[in-house]
Every structure is written in C-alpha cells, then in structure tokens.
Structure 1
Amino acid sequence: MINWVQENWFLASLIGNYLVATGAAFFLIRNNQNPHKTLSSLLFLVALPFVGLAIYYFFGLEYRKQKIFKRKDLNSHEHVTKWNKRLMNDEEELGKYETTFLEDRLKMVKLLRHNERAPLTLRNDLKLLYNGENAFEAIFEALDQAKDHIHLEYFIFNDDNIGNKFIDHLIAARKRDVNVKLIYDSVGSDLSNAAKRRMTDAGILHYPFMPVLFSRFTRKANYRDHRKIVIVDGHIGFLGGINVSDDYVNTPDRDPKDYWRDTHLRIEGHAVKSLQAQWLLNWFFVCDDQYSKDADEEIEGSFFPEIDEKKNKPVQIAASGPDTDWSNIMEAIFTGINSADTRIRITTPYFIPNEAILTAIKSAARSGVEVELMVPRIGDSWAARYASRSYFEEIMECGIKIFWYCKGMLHSKTMVVDGMFATIGTCNIDYRSFDINFEINALVFDKEFAQELNDKFDEDKKECEQIDLEEWKERSLTYKFKESFCKLWAPLL
C-alpha cells in the first residue's frame, strides 16, 4: 500500500482530496445555508481539487463561525441592554414622530428595534464629508479636541503617510491623558511592528480583530471587521467608507486615474451612544475581556455622557455581522427599497445583490419608481467587476438606470429613498457585506440630509457614463462568459 502511494502520489492525493471534499459537501448541505452559496461551494469542491477545499475553508465553513463567535454573545448582556434601553422610544412616542419626522418610514424604525433593539435617536447634528482629504481633516480636528477618550475601529489602518499622521494625533491625545483604544482588522490592515511599538509606548491600547497567519495571502478571509468608526468623548462620532490609508486621500500630485471618491459622516449627538455600544461589543471581544463591575461606573459615566444637542436629525444606527441573528442592514435596505414611492438612488463600489435585494429593486422599477444605480467603471477587483456586470442586463430591462463613474474609484456606500430617507455607512450591496463581514450604517430620516446626498449624486453624474441597454446587449460572448463565470463566485466574493 505504501509503495503504491509513493508510486502514485498524485492519484492518492486526489483520492484523499475528494474523500475530504465529500465530508465537506455533507456538512454544506446539512447546514441549510443559502442555496446559491451552497451550490457555489459544491462546484469548487468538485471542479477544483485542493484549491476547492481551500476556498471552502475560507468562505464556506459555517461551523467556524459558530465556534468563533460563541464567546461574543454579548448583545443580550444586561449592560448593553441597559445602554440601549436608555435611548429607546416607546411605541406611543414613536407614534407622535410618525407625522412630523418619519411619515411612512416608521416600519423601518420598528424593524431594527425588534431585530437588535437599535434605538431611534432624535437629537443629532450631521455633516457629510466627501473624500478622504476632507474626512481626515474633520477627524483630526475632533481628535485634537478630545478630553476623555478616543475609540477607533477600522478595517484598514495602514502606517503610510496618512496613517502615521493619524497615529501622531493619537499620541498627542495620550500626552493630554486622553484614553485611546484601537481595533484594527488583522487582514485588512498593514501596521508595522514599529508603528505598533509607537502606539504601545505612548499608552495606546490596540488589538487586531481575529488575527490570522499570512494575512497578505488571505485578503478575503471570512468574518472581517469592515467597520470604520471613530468616537470622541462619547458625543462625536464618524462612520462611512473611508479607511486609514493613502489610497483614500486625493493629493494634488496624484495620478487622476487613481482618484478616490468616497463619503463619510460626522455625527454629534445621541446616535453616538449607539456607535459606542457597538464599539464596546467588539472591544471586549478582541481583548478577550468581560464587563466588570469596576468598569461599570466608567462606562456609564464617561462613555455615555449627557448630551444637550439642539439639532433634531433622527438617526438610527444599524449594525450587522456573523454574530447577529438577522441581516440587519440588508433588511433595512430591503425595507427602504420596498417603501419607495418615487425614486431610489444607490451608490456602491460592489453590486452583487442577493435575491431579496435584486427582486426588491426590480419590482420597484417595474412599479414606476425611478431607480438609479452608480458603480465604478473599473473598480479594484476583477472578479467583483464582472460578477456585478452580470446583473446589468436584467435590471436595465426593468427600467433601472446604471451610471458608470469614470473619474476614478467610486467607494461611497449610500442610498437615498424619495428624498426623505438615506443610509450611509460601510455596507456594500453584496453577499459579503450582508452575511459575512461586520458592518455598520447610519439610517437618517431627514429631508435636508437626503437632499444633500441627492445633490451630490447629481454632481457625480457629471463624471459618469450612462450604460445603454441596446449597446450593452451587443457585448461579446467572451465578455458574457467572464460575467457568467464570476457570477458563480458571487456568494463567495
């Protein structure tokens, strides 16, 4: 037997591969996952020996999620429940806001309240920040004014030019005795040991989110922390699409083809308390700690301060991830689309919708709602680019208008419905954001805010090319094959 294996090592390896693949297929089918994801995983197990098993391990292995996040079951913790309850409005109060603020969007508010007890906050001041150069200026200004604490959570935190400037501001805050804590994703970030030592020596606490070996080779490993959060003193917060990397900053000497179009949000007010609660959940996960009675007073006092905000912008923070029972952000987007009467405008760098979102936007368009989708002309992922384009023909046939952003990379993640409701955050319109990564979005129920996003959409359209349906149908068979091939990967991208 040993001699045969030695003489036929490749065949023996192949037999071993398919024995393991058979077991993997059994678990895939037994777990009752999304059928599209299951079929994609099964296809690669069969068609790609050895490689298919690696794809399955990184993208299809659901029992890993259950094991990894068993100890992250903090949402029901009495402290978190207490924090959110203090911000909750009861049903009678919500009824009062229905005619003045929410109109027919009350259903969306109740959805998230029931899903994860996400409170609707009313006293908020909001400012949209366009592109990295403007966002970092506003963030650095807030960091320099911090008096008690700075809490950070980033998918990408690099120690390049902007990253080192960011660290400089954090170190300056520590010299003022401000407590600084950072969560950075182990796969997305590229922090050198020297940068980590700088922060450690300054007294900055920093932890990687789910560290992995060989992170440079696992850029799409599952269950990543895709959030971008900054919290200053519990009353100023930032979230959106902008990571800490030079890629996001448009400098005067930058090649025009590398232009990066993105959108971020500054929040001042009660919604920051919801951001704080979500940040705390991940903080105690990454540092492998638990809530202690000794920390309770600090958390209640400095982390959730009293806020006297005069502006009245209703905001709800939607958070989702592989540790939540529901796809909170996806369901909020789905409900927003279904509630539309006149117009839906979506900007996203990756458009790989699941069946629910695809059906919702097609139904909206066929029912007379104007649906406009803006995506990058090139993008930063070959597979995602063609997977996204595989949906273009069927949605344009329903009357949806697609605009290719041609100036550079469009990375904004926004949606505006009827000029009354808007969402902005970290969530893309794709399977990964909906089901796999940790994401966070702000849902804003304000006409003035929605109008500003609409105005920016009109401005961005000047840098776009609208796709013509008849011309699109004439694309080559090779092009269509690339789309079809990449679409098979859609649930795994």
Structure 2
Amino acid sequence: MLEYVQNNIFFTLIIINYIIAIGTAFFIILNNRNPITTVSYILALVVLPFLGLLIYYFLGQEYRKDKMFKRKKVFNNETVKKWEKKLILNDNRLENYETDFLGNKVNIVKLLQNNQKKPLVFGNDVQILINGEKKFEALFKDIKEAKNHIHVEYYMFNDDKIGSQFIEALIKRAKEGIVVRVNYDYVASAISNKSIKKMKQAGIEIFPFMPVWFPNLTRKLNYRNHRKIVVIDGIIGYVGGVNVSDEYVNPNNTGYWRDTHTRLKGNVVKSIQSHFLLNWNFVSEQEIEITDHYFPEVEECGEIPVQIAASGPDSDYPHIMEALFTAINGAKDFIRITTPYFIPNDQMLTALKTASRRGVDIEILIPKEGDSWAAKYATNSYILDLLESGIKVYHYCKGMVHAKTMVVDGLLSTIGTSNMDYRSFEINFEITALIYNKEVSAEMLHIFEDDTKHCNQVAIEEWKQRSFQEKVKESFSRLWAPLL
C-alpha cells in the first residue's frame, strides 16, 4: 500500500484533496449562506484542486467574524446613548419632515434610525471635494487648526509623497499636544516601520487593522477596513473614496484618478466618531474612556440634514446596502450612480432594473479599464442586463474613476466608501454619508454630468457585437463575482 501511494503520489493527493473538499462543501452548505456565494466556493473546490481549498481557507471562513467582531461596547456607552437620544427624531417629527421635504425618502431615515440608531441630523455644513488635491488641501488646513484630537482611519495609508506630508502634519500637531490616533488597514497600506516608529516617537498612537501573514499575497482577504475617514475635535469629519496615496492627488507621472470625498461639519460627525471609537477599541485592544469631549456640543453651522450609514462584519444587517436598496426602490424621477466596481447582488440588480422599467431615468458611470482585470470583466457581464432594462451605462475614459456616489430624485445624495458590489455590502467595513438636500444634489448632479463628458455611452447594439472571447472572460469572472 505504501509503495502504491509513493508511486502514485499525485493521484493520492488528488483523492485526499477531494475528500477534504467534499467535507468542506458539506460544511459550507450547512452554514446557510448566500446561495450565490455558496455555489461560488463549492465551484472553486471542485474545479480548482488544492487552490480551491486555499481560496476557501483565506476568503471563505467566518470563524474570524464570529470570534472577533462581537464588540458593541461603544454603542452601549452612556455618553453615546445620551447624544443619540438627544438627536434621534420621534415619529411625529419624521411625519412632519416627510410632508415638508423628505417625501418617501423618510423610509431610508426610519430604516437607519431603527436598525442602527443613526439619526438624521440637522444643522450641518457639507463641502464636496473633487479628487485628492481638494481633499488634502482642506484636510491639512483642518489638521493645522485642530484643538483637541485628530482621529484617522484609512484603508490605504502609504508613506509616499502625499502620505509623508500627511504624516508630518500629524507629527507636528502631536508634538504640540494634540491627541492623534491612527488606524490603518494592514493589507492595503504600504507604510514603513521607520514611518510608524517616527509617529510613535512623536506621541501618535497608531495600530494596524487585523494584521495577516503575507499581505502582498492576500489583498482580497475578508473583513478588511475599507473606510477612509478623519474626525477632528468631534466637530469636523471626512468621508469618501480618497485614500492616502499619491495616485489620488494625480501626480504628472501617473494616470488620472477621479474621486469624490466630503467634508462634514456639525453634529452628524458624532455618528462618524462613534464608529471610529468602535474600531479603535478593537485594533488597539484598549477601552477608551468615552467622555463628552469626543461628542461636543456643536452650534448649527449650516442647514443640511445628513445621516450616516455604516456596515461591516460587526453589523446586524448590511445597512448601506439596505439604505441604497430602499432609495432605489423609492426613486420616482432619476438615479445617477458612479462606482468603480459594479458587481451587484441579485437584490440590487433587480431593484435597478425594475425601477428603470417603471419609468425611473437611471444612468450608471463606471471605469472603462479600472484597476482590476477580474472586476472589470465581472462588471461588464452585467452591462447587457442593464441596457436591456433601459438603463444608460457610461464608460469613463479619462482615467480611473474611484468615486462611490449616488444621486436620487434631486433630493438624496450619497458619498462614501462602499462600492456597488458584494464585498462592500457584506464583507468589508464601510461608511457612507446620506445627504438630504436639493442644493447638494444639484451640485452632485452637475459633477456627474461633467464626468460624462469624459465618457463613452455604451450602445446596446454595439455591445452585443463584442467578441466571443470578451464574453467568455465576462462569464468566467462573473462566476467568481462574490469572491472578488
């Protein structure tokens, strides 16, 4: 028997692989996960011997989620509860706002308020920041003027040219007595030990989010912190798509990178602050004493109502997906979506197609090339579906479009970190600002229309004529869409 195994080692390993794969497939089925995801993993186990097991080991297991993300202490803190209770809107006030200006958008407000205790907050200022150049110009000014603390949380934090400028700005304030805390995603970031040591020596507290082995080989590991936020003094907050990396500020030697961020000022920043503190307690393994200075009283600095939606493995529900889903289903006139990755789940795809067929004017802007071969072809596999339902699709040709925004009916705008894909909706930590204001929506609509000047609109007859090889790539990539 031993001699047979030695002479047939590859065949023996294949048998062992499929014995383990069958047991793993049975375990996946018993977990009662999304059927599409279940089929994708089982398909990987069947058609990719050995590799399929590795894919499931690194991407598919949820034991880390069950073990690591049972951490709700921040939301149960008395200080957090106090400001939530103060800002939360009762049913009577919501009914009045529904009549005054919200219309059926009040359903989104109720959804997030009931599920996540995130109120619609009035009296805010909203500044739309186009590309990294505008974002960092405003951010550096706010860092310079910080009076108490600076909280930083980024998916990608590189110590390249813009990253080094950012680090120096933080170090300067830390040395002047400002409390600076930095949380960066370990997999996506490229920050040297030298830079980390320099920040720590200046008094900056800095921790990586979920370190893993071989980060360069595991860039799509599950449960990454995809948020890009900064909170200054609990009064100013930044949310959007712009990471700390040179390509986001469009240096001359790289391709054009189109993105959108927003600077928020007002009481809505308290919602962003609570999510930062929740993640900070996790990555630092500290229990920060949460006092009122993290949630200060803020005089009204504008008139714009804003609500924050955040989701991740620690969420009871996919809050961002549900908010967008509700917005799409409630749309009456038009929807404009910009996203770098359009790999929707069945719910979102059905919502968009049915909204279009009932007369809502829908336009979606995606990159022509993108920064991921697999994501590009997975995205392209949905285009014919959209076109046949009457949805207009634009390919952005000037460079990479990385903005994650939506405008609905000239009243609701969303700016955040969440892509229109399964990974953002179900796996990674994301955060999105929902802005209920006609002026902001008009500005966002103008930005969308300006971006279409650098696009080619996809024509359905021309799209149907694409090559067989392209269709094969699309179909194959779509099979793995839940894993991308």
> Shorter-chain-normalised TM-score: which range?
over 0.9
**SS class of match (1:164):** helix
- Which residue pairs with 2:267 in the alignment? 270
**SS class of match (1:290):** coil
Distance 1:327 1:370 in 2: 26
- Which residue pairs with 1:283 in the alignment? 280
Distance 1:4 1:83, change over 3 A: farther
Structure 1's consecutive aligned runs of 4 or more residues displaced over 4 angstroms after TM superposition are none
Q: Which of the numbers 264, 275, 296 marks the counterpart of 1:305?
A: 296
1:77 Cα deviation from its structure 2 partner: 2.2
Distance 1:441 1:99 in 2: 25
Distance 1:196 1:98, change over 3 A: same
Query: TM-score when scaled to structure 1?
Result: 0.96
Deviations 1:386-418 (A, max 9, x none): 000001111100100000000000000000001
Distance 1:283 1:486 in 2: 36
Distance 2:86 2:27 in 1: 42
- Which residue pairs with 1:65 in the alignment? 65
1:100 Cα deviation from its structure 2 partner: 2.8
Q: Is the 8 A contact 1:109 1:316 kept in 2?
A: yes
- Which residue pairs with 1:164 in the alignment? 164
1:458 Cα deviation from its structure 2 partner: 0.8
1:323 Cα deviation from its structure 2 partner: 1.2
1:102 Cα deviation from its structure 2 partner: 1.6
Q: Is the 8 A contact 1:273 1:304 kept in 2?
A: yes
What amino acid sits opposite 1:156 in the alignment? M
- Which residue pairs with 2:309 in the alignment? 318
Q: Is the 8 A contact 2:313 2:429 kept in 1?
A: yes
Deviations 1:207-248 (A, max 9, x none): 111110110110000000000010001100101000000011
Distance 2:8 2:364 in 1: 54
Q: Is the 8 A contact 1:150 1:230 kept in 2?
A: yes
Q: Is the 8 A contact 2:146 2:233 kept in 1?
A: yes
**SS class of match (1:127):** strand
Distance 1:430 1:57 in 2: 22
Instruction: Determine if the alignment matches structure 1 residue 491 to structure 2 residue 467.
Output: no
Q: Is the 8 A contact 1:352 1:388 kept in 2?
A: yes
1:176 Cα deviation from its structure 2 partner: 1.5
- Which residue pairs with 1:398 in the alignment? 389
Distance 2:452 2:370 in 1: 17
Instruction: Determine if the alignment matches structure 1 residue 77 to structure 2 residue 48.
Output: no
Distance 1:15 1:280 in 2: 49
Q: Which of the numbers 388, 413, 417 marks the counterpart of 2:408?
A: 417
Instruction: Determine if the alignment matches structure 1 residue 381 to structure 2 residue 372.
Output: yes
Deviations 1:108-132 (A, max 9, x none): 1000111111111101000000001
- Which residue pairs with 2:151 in the alignment? 151
Structure 2 portions without partners, runs of 5+: none
Q: Is the 8 A contact 2:265 2:301 kept in 1?
A: no
**SS class of match (1:126):** strand
Distance 1:49 1:398 in 2: 39
1:359 Cα deviation from its structure 2 partner: 0.3
Distance 2:10 2:478 in 1: 31
Distance 1:385 1:290 in 2: 42
1:76 Cα deviation from its structure 2 partner: 5.2
Q: Is the 8 A contact 2:74 2:277 kept in 1?
A: no
Distance 1:447 1:474, change over 3 A: same
- Which residue pairs with 1:245 in the alignment? 245
Distance 2:110 2:481 in 1: 31
What amino acid sits opposite 1:246 in the alignment? D
Distance 2:102 2:144 in 1: 36
1:429 Cα deviation from its structure 2 partner: 0.2
1:265 Cα deviation from its structure 2 partner: 0.1
What amino acid sits opposite 1:492 in the alignment? L
1:16 Cα deviation from its structure 2 partner: 1.9
**SS class of match (1:224):** coil
1:83 Cα deviation from its structure 2 partner: 4.2
Distance 1:470 1:487 in 2: 22
Deviations 1:360-382 (A, max 9, x none): 00001101110000000100000
- Which residue pairs with 1:346 in the alignment? 337
What amino acid sits opposite 1:466 in the alignment? Q
Distance 1:389 1:59 in 2: 24
Task: Write the mapping of 1:94-493 to structure 2, written as runs, cut at 5 A.
Answer: 94-251=94-251, 253-255=252-254, 258-291=255-288, 295=289, 299-493=290-484
What amino acid sits opposite 2:59 in the alignment? F
Deviations 1:164-186 (A, max 9, x none): 00000000111210000011001
Deviations 1:449-484 (A, max 9, x none): 000000011111110000000010011111111000
Deviates more, 1:302-311 or 1:125-134: 302-311
Q: Is the 8 A contact 1:414 1:423 kept in 2?
A: yes
**SS class of match (1:419):** coil
Q: Is the 8 A contact 2:158 2:244 kept in 1?
A: yes
Distance 1:232 1:61 in 2: 36
1:75 Cα deviation from its structure 2 partner: 6.1
Distance 2:315 2:88 in 1: 20
Query: TM-score when scaled to structure 2?
Result: 0.98
What amino acid sits opposite 1:266 in the alignment? R
What amino acid sits opposite 2:120 in the alignment? L
What amino acid sits opposite 1:53 in the alignment? L
**SS class of match (1:122):** strand
Distance 1:199 1:20 in 2: 46
Structure 1 portions without partners, runs of 5+: none
Q: Is the 8 A contact 1:101 1:446 kept in 2?
A: no
**SS class of match (1:177):** coil
Distance 1:366 1:180 in 2: 50
Q: What RMSD, in angstroms, separates the aligned Cα atoms of the two structures?
A: 1.2
Distance 2:63 2:206 in 1: 28
**SS class of match (2:137):** helix
Q: Is the 8 A contact 1:83 1:277 kept in 2?
A: no
**SS class of match (2:73):** coil
What amino acid sits opposite 2:41 in the alignment? S
What amino acid sits opposite 1:116 in the alignment? Q
Distance 1:149 1:195 in 2: 20
1:74 Cα deviation from its structure 2 partner: 3.4
**SS class of match (2:351):** helix
1:309 Cα deviation from its structure 2 partner: 1.9
What amino acid sits opposite 2:142 in the alignment? A
